[in-house]
Amino acid sequence: MSIYLKQKGHGRPVTFHRAAERSCGYVIDVAGDKDLRGYTKKDANAFRDALIKRGLSGSSITRIFGTVRSVTNFAASEAGVSFNNPFSGVYFDRQAGVQEREPLAGEVIDTVQAECVSLDDDLRWLVALVSDTGMRLAEATGLALTDLVVEGDCKKVIIREHPWRRLKTAGSSREIPLVGKALWAAQRIYFHAAGQVHAFPRYNRGQLTNANSVSAASNKWLKPMVPTGCTIVDMYGISGHFHMRWIAATIGSVVYPIRKSMG
């Protein structure tokens, strides 16, 4: 694990390091801390059984096994050791306990948006912004003020990388038209935060954007307003379920938002 983190850990988020430490810790708990070549299929199977016994879902077990494989394959390669990785090809039900998310109903979003307008503060601007743009929570939280274009014909938000907030993938870089309550929120932010670097200074006090806090705070606030199990993520959609009620047509440099319900 130390070889893996030393070589691959540079510039990676804290969660990357923690995931490697935690997953390998689980292996050590079950099978002991051995030489790479000392682990057997029996160890890997016992490891799987221990994870199932803990009550982890299939997707979590997949994730943990993935990390262990990644660490062991890399360390073996670095050490010039060729071995048949016992953590590969271990069978378990990947779908066990996996839950599917449901999108929020349009009326629920209307209610939430009305509350955002009523309370009219930074957290509510963020929720409103997410609700009519479909951007990820971390993308919104880490916006610079200059990413919001709220004047002229082409009102939009620009999603781009910043030193304080990376993008999930290179393909995440994009522009989204500002419409509905997202436009309202963007204008509130723009005129409130004039002269500041960040659109949401409260969640950008350190060197890195803290979307974790927004997730905790927004979900706590949303809970009484949305169906059981629904969260901020369902405001913009995940797993293929998008509530987005807008599509966009670009003519020249102007983006025209079109409400889907208009047909």
Partner DNA sequence: TGACGTCACGTTCTGTACTT
Partner DNA sequence: AAGTACAGAACGTGACGTCA
Binder among 152, 163, 224, 240 for DNA (CB under 7 A)? 240
> Nearest distance from residue 35's CB to DNA, in Å?
20
Contact between 162 and DNA by CB under 7 A: the answer reads: no
State CA 108 to chain mean position distance: 22
- CA 106-244-249 angle, 5° bins: 135
> Nearest distance from residue 199's CB to DNA, in Å?
15
Stretch that binds DNA, among 31-39, 42-50, 189-197, 225-233 (CB under 7 A): 225-233
Contact between 137 and DNA by CB under 7 A: the answer reads: yes
Contact between 84 and DNA by CB under 7 A: the answer reads: no
Contact between 63 and DNA by CB under 7 A: the answer reads: yes
**Bridge partners of 254?**
251
Q: Which of residues 87-116 bind DNA (CB under 7 A)?
A: 88-89, 94, 97-101
How is residue 105 annotated by DSSP? P
Binder among 56, 109, 116, 127 for DNA (CB under 7 A)? 56
> Nearest distance from residue 260's CB to DNA, in Å?
19
As a whole number of angstroms, the distance between CA 98 and CA 231 comes to 17
Tell me the backbone φ, ψ of residue 148, rounded to 5 degrees: -100, 115
Stretch that binds DNA, among 5-13, 29-37, 39-47, 181-189 (CB under 7 A): 5-13
As a whole number of angstroms, the distance between CA 238 and CA 257 comes to 22
State CA 205 to chain mean position distance: 20
Binding site for DNA (CB under 7 A): 8, 12-13, 15-16, 18-19, 22, 54-60, 62-66, 69-70, 73-74, 88-89, 94, 97-101, 136-139, 166-171, 202-203, 205-206, 210-213, 215-217, 219, 229, 231-233, 238-240
